[in-house]
Amino acid sequence: MDNQATIRRLIEDWAAAVRRGDLNAILAHHSADFVMYDVPPPFQSIGLDAYRKTWDVFFANTKPGVFDIDHLEVVAGEEVAFCFATMKCSDKSGSADYIHLPFRLTVGLKKINQQWTIVHEHHSIPAE
């Protein structure tokens, strides 16, 4: 598999792990010094422990029925890559105040020990 296809599969597997609520699989390809900027607080999370806590909050408040990639673009060299996507998240908890959430995703990756590793994520939502 070429770099673009490998990264595409990695991102698709990450989204599937979110749908399953599989935290170990969500974290599996992230670096220890990973940095994320997110929509809900905290604005910035540094390291895997901080990233894990954001998912603990997410799963405590949301039961994702949808966590789907609408469109994914991958740009990959031999050692670094990035991808950007439009995605959607919907909740199946039945909460009356939950709103369907389209969002954007940007991911930065670096090859570490011959494996593509996520070093940065940025989630954002369209401003109204």
pLDDT single digits (tens) 83-123:
999 998 876 666 666 667 889 999 999 999 999 999 999 99
CATH of domain 3-124: 3.10.450.50
pLDDT at 102: 86
Amino acid 17: pLDDT: 95
Q: Which helix (H) or strand (E) holds 27?
A: helix 23-27
State residue 96's pLDDT score. 66
Instruction: Fill in the DSSP letter of residue 77.
Output: -
Q: What is the DSSP track for 89-118?
A: EEE-S--TT---EEEEEEEEEEEETTEEEE
**101 strand-pairing partners:** 89
Question: Would you say the pTM of this structure is higher than 0.85?
Answer: yes
CA distances from 44 to 13, 26, 34, 104 (A): 23, 18, 11, 16
Segment 53-67 mean pLDDT: 81
SS3 state at 119 = strand
Greater confidence (57 vs 49) lies with 49
The rounded mean pLDDT for the chain is: 90
